[in-house]
Structure 1
Amino acid sequence: MLIKMIPEIGHFALVIALLMAIVQAVMPLLGAATRRPLWMAYGYPMATGQFLFVAIAYLCLTTSYMLDDFSVANVANNSNSLLPWYYKFSAVWGNHEGSVLLWSLMLAGWGYAASVFSKELPRDMVARVQSVMGMVCVGFLLFILMTSNPFERLLPNMPADGADLNPLLQDFGLIVHPPMLYMGYVGFSVVFAFAIAALLGGRLDAAWTRWARPWTNIAWAFLTVGIALGSWWAYYELGWGGWWFWDPVENASLLPWLTGTALVHSLAVTEKRGSFKSWTVLLAIATFSLSLLGTFLVRSGVLTSVHAFANDPFRGFFILMLLAITVTLSLLVFALRAPRVSHKVGFNWLSRDSLLLINNVLLVIMTVTVLLGTVYPLILDSLGLGKISVGPPYFNALFVPLTVVMCIFMGLGPLARWKSMSGKELWRKLWLAGAASLALGIAMPLVYGREWNLWVALGIISALWIVLSMVRDLFDKTRHASSFVAGLRKLSLSYWGMVLGHLGVAVTIVGVAVVSNYNIERNVRMSPGTTVEVAGYQFTMTELTNRRGPNFLADTSIIQVQRGEEGRSFVMRPEKRLYLATGMPMTQVALRPGFFRDLYVAMGEDLGDGSYAMRVQYKPFVRWLWLGGLLMAFGGLLAVIDKRYRRVSVRQPETARAQPAQEAPV
């Protein structure tokens, strides 16, 4: 009997979580405003309870999937009795309702973590952070209960079997990509909460940025990994061989990443120098708002994309209103409070401060560029002014030059001093790195053995400039130590995080430049006995076979691959699958990965007479794209574990904690 009530238990748990979120949103804020410790103390138990009950709801939905409870509409529409258990587990978030529930679980989890790891902070600050997190949770729990109930029943007319999970989603990428991406999206809510709490409490000082920096770096690292995994998934799953398509939904994840990158740097300046306070707060608001915008684009039905979830205008309207309320109230608080707690910190035009400011401006311009290219067609369409398509030519024409300019300042920044520096000193440090980058960048495309290409040379020059500048900075920081190793040991983890982050950018730029310009692709007709040569490799189809999977039938092509006349041979097996429940065909790509190149074979349509359309590709340095993303993410996580972020920078007596020194709390 209890098993049959699992969906009702999950729904009831969401209602309780909503009530606790409302208490969390109201009581701590009132307690901070009236200096009542008991009211402020409501935040921690409510955050804990909310996380617990949302977790119960999520566990109930997962159990319904694993038990094939097709009386639940969400399970019936997105699962099947033949679906392997691991895809049933990931199918929970492979649809709109389940993904929003996962989002809410992560949001509650971030709120709980912020409460647990902020106990040493001033009590009033923690109370305001918990209250803002509670407000955000109220919005999403209302969204679930009012528009996206994952526990809706089909009784009494339940189907005998489910409609099955979309074959595009029956892949390992679904298991890892959405959770990572959502962790990044939702993680920025904590930084947003700290920014609003700092404004309300009049505490826009270096202390709050030190408290917020670890949360920013963690969220940014998760989002970086999520975007890299999404690129990798699209690369091998869709059969096109591309790694980024400037799809509107892909852009939706890039937007908060760009402003989040600017926020990471802005927080560092605010903590170190006390400047960029307004920049930092506005970037925190913008990053979380762009996360909400991405949610709206994916779930409103305004986009047609393989990544989009929903096609329900009411859901889109609800998220749009949530976004409007968040942006309006945040900017109102900023307008009222920021001028009263800010002060100016001077610096010269040639300093680390100014270079970081320029980089942030460039990142914001890049964000606006992508945002306009993404939403402008939607605005025209909604106003009845016609349909237009903004594709890669627009984005590449604007984004690539901005990236090159940004790389120039990335190389200058680490070697510049705070506040002021002479041009002669900076030139003395960097002229050799600049000359070496230019010479090697021009020569490397020729050494690689391909036709010289301007864009490849420019990409390598930019990457080498970043790397060699970091090498010079390491030399400057270690040359006075007793030994090079001893000097390296004295460097902080946050510094090494910065080094890895910049190295990751350089590696990604090399991958983008080389694979975009030196990729070789051939679309051919192949049948058993046919041989095709691509980039010195011979691809020979030896036979066609059939096999049955757990829920699909597959035509498999056996491809014998050999390099040159005497090179080592190996076999690749691309497939064309037909999923039984939906009748949907899918391409299963065959990959031969390598550090410097991938071999990529995709099996297309049956052309008759035992022949198939085949796409054979040679993709140099493509793995560097994702390696760079992992290096960036690891750099962000490395900075988080720096020991200076595990202690409170400002300790105040208990009586002072309820009253910030700057001015009365709100």
Structure 2
Amino acid sequence: MIPEAGHFALILALCVSVLLSLVPLAGTYLKVPLWQQSARPLAVVNGALLLLSFAALTHAFLTDDFSVVYAASHSNSLMPWYFKFSAVWGGHEGSLLLWVLILSFWTAAVALLSRQLPLELKARVLSVLGMINVGFLLFILLTSNPFERYLPNSPTDGADLNPLLQDFGLIVHPPLLYMGYVGFSVAFAFAIAALLGGRLDATWARWSRPWTTVAWAFLTLGIALGSWWAYYELGWGGWWFWDPVENASFMPWLAGTALMHSLAATEKRGVFKSWTVLLAIFTFSLCLLGTFLVRSGILTSVHAFANDPERGRFVLMMLGVVIGGSLLLYALRAPVIKSRVHFTETSRESFLLANNIILFVASLTVLGGTLFPLAAEFYDYEVSVGAPYFNLMFAFLTPLLAIALGFGARSRWKTTSSARLLDKTVIHAAISFVAAVIIPWLYGEFFFLAMVGVFIAAWVSCATVSDIREKTRNKGLWRGWQQTSRSYKGMIFGHIGLAVMIMGAAIVSHYTVERNVRLAPGEAAVFGDFLVTFDRMEKVRGPNYIGDAATFDVFPAPGETAALAGLSPAALKMKYVGEGAEPLFELKPEKRRYVVSSSLMTEAGINPGLFRDIYISLGEPLGSGEKEQAWAVRLQYKPLVRWLWLGAIFMALGGGLAVSDRRYRLKIRQRIDRSPGEPAITPSSDVDASVLKPIAPRSGA
């Protein structure tokens, strides 16, 4: 009965979402406050019903209820309970239910945490979110019901979860990624609500900005965690493969970064209003496009969830409704969206606009490279667009973005003198050039793109540090830093995080050392500055797998490397590893075979460090007739690879600091030119008060 209760809760949630999408919106046009106020309880009830439905599906997994088709297809009685729990979203139906659950949480959060939001605006925002809920709930109930049963007979055990997904990464990666994906629906809802109300002033941007920043921070963490998961789980040592499904999350991140900066300009100066609305629509549309790519079966990828054209058609239809309806509404409202704020070519507004254009072009670049092979298939052409294309395009775009960021950090709103912008430019460029020469020299070889990456990272860092020094010059560095706003601190963390990530990507992409060797227990190989010895191989057994676990001891490499060429692996170990010698560390990679699915998985052995990783993975066994089984072994030295994820953590932390800024936590008491019955808003210290007055007349409601 519990699965039926979960299914019934889904149906009730659809009914509540229909009410949420219609009643409050009708109340804004008919001027019925009670209808508008119904949005809040409806949003909370919708979230509670979906939580009940998700709990029912989770119960089926944890209790091994294999009469539920979805549980039987993605679980097994031998799996540990924590993998059974994460298996709830390990397939298409459950992951989609998690998506809608998170969407309902965002909707309820807007309802509960925006008490000071003008009633009409809140009603419109929640109605738009309700419409999105309706679309996805219909998708689940019509094409992807997770509560279907095997009746009257059900299997005695499940088919098991894909071994790739039986990992800690599945527990945290999809929820974080969906928090970002779905969170951009709030920015979209605010933009549509502002268009419906015909009031595109700084107020809606102010309310939308913290929600957008939170969604961006979650998406940043989700993408970084997915990269880290692929790095240690797949066994090949890569951190980004430009897989189409990876691109599906990267595109909204690029557009969302542009939206976040554009909202800052709209809030503080009242500029880019039309552009900001379009970015909100474009960002959420890319989120829906990513859903289509992952769930339609149009792509073949280890990340893809489903292979069902019917589901793809449904998402494509929903994507058409969202994009078409949003752009139609924008076209109807565009004539009244006007900006009366002026700025010079050297102002912060100009550099933010340049930043936006570059990020928008970058997202279009990824979009084109992802969709072009699909379009070519319609004309019976096979075209592959891979890493060389994307790397080349970003080699052009990233320096442009860094230049705009560096100058933008030192510019001011409205106007900035050329002397101020050029004041420290020569010094910053000189420091960056020196870093671009010295750091590659330390790694022993010069690569042009690596030098460019180091220059960019140093340029962004210099501009950011220079801005901090200027902000704190009259109060001392530490005291002045403490007195800066959390929003400013968040910006600094975000920019430093970007620099750290660029540095890591530039170094690890060009200075990774890889060696494939044939080793048996008792043999050794020299690898860079290390001597790696194959100590032993032993059998291991897990809850639902059996495997072979190797132990490798890693020692400092001997100095006389010229004499090593003629030594066999066994002689190498005998000559340079004495009895009782203590290794620097040991690594234990595994080769697992999962019992139910008979799938083979590689578990890498990794010694992490701030400046390098040592990465060892097992390939296939070789020479089965030998006394000691030899194995193909991959040895990798990965410099600064951790900086990729450290930079992402800095950026996400910056987003969290920005959202916790004082002006977002204050109770808003007065709003300029407010409508009767609406709460008020006061300008914050860093907002130009002149932009808070209505710029476009209210039309309709």
Same fold (TM > 0.5): yes
Residue 451 of structure 1 corresponds to which residue in structure 2? 445
Pick from 653, 657, 660 the counterpart of residue 678 of structure 2. Answer: 657
Letter in 2 for 1:421: T
Matched, 1:633 2:668: no
Aligned to 1:187: 183
Tell me if 1:93 matches 2:89: yes
CA distance in 2, matches of 1:514, 1:580: 40
Deviation at 1:321, TM superposition (A): 0.5
Distance 1:12 1:582 in 2: 33
8 Å Cα contact 2:75-2:161 kept in structure 1: yes
CA shift at 1:489, angstroms?
Answer: 2.0
Counterpart code for 1:662 = P
Of the three residues 615, 619, 639, the one matched with 1:620 is: 639
Equivalent residue for 1:462? 456
Match 1:392 to one of 387, 390, 395: 387
Aligned to 1:343: 339
- SS at the partner of 1:550? coil
Question: What does residue 484 of structure 1 align with?
Answer: 477
Secondary structure of the structure 2 residue equivalent to 1:603: strand
| Contact 1:205 1:274 (C-alpha < 8 Å) held by counterparts | yes
Question: 2:4 is aligned with what amino acid?
Answer: E
The residue that corresponds to 1:645 in the other structure is 664
Residues 523/13 of structure 1: CA separation in 2 closer, same or farther (3 Å cut): same
**Matched residue pairs, number?**
659
CA distance, structure 1, for counterparts of residue 416 and residue 129 of structure 2: 42
1:30/1:39 contact within 8 Å kept? yes
Contact 1:497 1:635 in 2 (8 A): yes
My pick for the range that moved more, 500-509 or 598-607, is 598-607
Letter in 1 for 2:354: I
Matches within 5 A, 1:566-605: 568-605=583-620
Query: Equivalent residue for 1:560?
Result: 553
Match in the other structure for 1:39: 35
Shift of 1:138: 0.2
Q: Which amino acid aligns with 2:663?
A: R
Letter of the 1:222 partner, please give it.
F
TM-score between both structures, scaled by the size of structure 1: 0.97
Q: Does 1:312 align with 2:331?
A: no
The root-mean-square deviation of aligned C-alpha atoms, in Å, is 1.5
Give 3-state SS (helix, strand or coil) of 1:560's partner: strand
Match of 2:140 in 1: 144
- Verify the 8 A CA contact 2:670 2:679 in the aligned structure 1: no
Partner of 1:155: 151
| Alignment map for 1:184-223 (pairs within 5 Å) | 184-223=180-219
Give, in angstroms, the shift of residue 634 of structure 1: 0.5
Cα contact 1:147–1:315 (8 A) shared by 2: yes
Q: Residue 425 of structure 1: CA displacement?
A: 2.1
- Taking the aligned partners of 1:391 and 1:457, their CA distance within structure 2 comes to 23
Report the alpha carbon displacement of residue 116 of structure 1 after superposing the two structures with TM. Answer: 0.6
Deviations 1:399-434 (A, max 9, x none): 122011111111110101222222222111332122
Runs of at least 5 residues in structure 2 that lack an aligned partner in the other structure: 559-580, 681-693
Give distance in 1, aligned partners of 2:151 and 2:498. Answer: 53
Residue aligned with 1:501, SS: helix
Cα deviation, 1:181-220, whole Å, max 9, x if unaligned, reads 0000000001110011011112211111111111000000
How far off its partner does 1:451 sit?
1.3
Match of residue 564 from structure 2: none
Equivalent residue number for residue 282 of structure 2: 286
1:435 equivalent in structure 2:
430
Rate the CA distance shift 1:343–1:517 in 2: closer, same or farther, 3 A. same
Matched, 1:377 2:373: yes
Judged with a 3 Å threshold, the aligned counterparts in structure 2 of structure 1 residues 296 and 650 are, in CA distance, closer, same or farther, namely: farther
Deviations 1:557-595 (A, max 9, x none): 111111235884221111110000001111111111111
Determine whether 1:366 maps to 2:351.
no
SS at match of 1:632: helix
Q: Secondary structure at the match of 1:600?
A: strand
Q: Tell me, what secondary structure is at the counterpart of 1:618?
A: strand
Name the amino acid aligned to 1:326. Answer: V
Q: In 2, distance between residues paired with 1:567 and 1:182?
A: 46
CA distance in 1, matches of 2:117, 2:401: 36
Normalising by structure 2, we get a TM-score of 0.92
**Counterparts of 1:125 and 1:302, CA distance in 2:** 38
- Name the SS for the 2:304 alignment partner: coil
> Is the 1:47–1:111 Cα contact (8 Å) retained in structure 2?
yes
Partner secondary structure for residue 145 of structure 2: coil
Query: Which amino acid is 2:676 matched to?
Result: T
- CA shift, 1:307, in A, is 0.2
Taking the aligned partners of 2:338 and 2:373, their CA distance within structure 1 comes to 39
Where does residue 578 of structure 2 map in the other structure?
none
Q: CA deviation at 1:272?
A: 1.1
CA contact (8 A) 1:455 1:513 kept: yes
Report the Cα offset of residue 339 of structure 1.
Answer: 2.2
The DSSP-based 3-state class of the residue aligned with 1:543 is: strand
1:507 aligns with 2:522: no
Structure 2: how far apart are the matches of 1:308 and 1:469? 40
Q: Counterpart of 2:571? A: none
Aligned AA (2:421): L
What are the superposed Cα offsets for residues 495-539 of structure 1, whole Å, 9 maximum, x if unpaired? 000000000000000100000000000111111122111121111
Aligned mates of 1:653, 1:233 — CA distance in 2: 49
Q: Which moved more, 1:34-43 or 1:342-351?
A: 342-351
Q: Say which SS state the counterpart of residue 655 (structure 1) adopts.
A: coil
User: What residue in structure 1 maps to residue 20 of structure 2?
Assistant: 24
Structure 1, 409-418 or 306-315: larger mean CA deviation: 409-418
1 CA distance for matches of 2:188 and 2:585? 52
**Displacement of 1:547 after TM fit?**
1.2
Q: Tell me the alpha carbon deviations over residues 220-271 of structure 1, each in whole angstroms, 9 at most, x when there is no partner.
A: 0000000000000011111111000000000000000000000010001011
Check conservation: 1:520, 1:617, Cα contact below 8 A: yes
Gaps of 5+ in 1: none
The 2-side partners of 1:564 and 1:111 are apart by 58
Distance 1:629 1:69, change over 3 A: same
Q: Deviations over 1:452-479 (max 9, x none)?
A: 2222221111111111111111111111
Structure 2 CA distance, aligned partners of 1:85 and 1:123?
45
Once residues 556 and 669 of structure 2 are traced to their aligned partners in structure 1, the CA distance between those partners, rounded to angstroms, is 60
Structure 1 match to 2:530: 537
1:64 aligns with 2:74: no
**Counterpart amino acid of residue 626 in structure 1:** W
Q: Secondary structure at the match of 1:92?
A: helix
Kindly provide the CA deviation profile for residues 275-319 of structure 1, in whole angstroms up to 9, marking residues without a partner as x. 010111111111111000000000000000000000000001000
Specify the code of the residue in structure 2 equivalent to 1:612.
Answer: W
What letter corresponds to residue 629 of structure 1 in structure 2?
A
Match of 1:171 in 2: 167
Contact 1:32–1:665 under 8 Å retained in 2: no
Please list the CA deviations of residues 101-140 of structure 1 after superposition, one character each: whole Å capped at 9, or x if unmatched. Answer: 0000000000000011111111000000010000000000
> What is the letter of the counterpart of residue 470 of structure 1?
T
In structure 1, what is the Cα distance between the partners aligned to 2:651 and 2:158? 41
| 1:658 to partner: Cα distance | 10
Deviation for aligned residue 1:353:
0.8
CA shift for structure 1 position 335: 0.9
1:224 aligns with 2:220: yes
* Mapped partners of 2:167, 2:22: distance in 1: 42
* Distance (whole Å) between structure 2 residues aligned to residue 582 and residue 341 of structure 1: 58
In structure 1, what is the equivalent of residue 9 of structure 2? 13
Moved more, 298-307 or 463-472: 463-472
Q: Is the 8 A contact 2:62 2:85 kept in 1?
A: yes
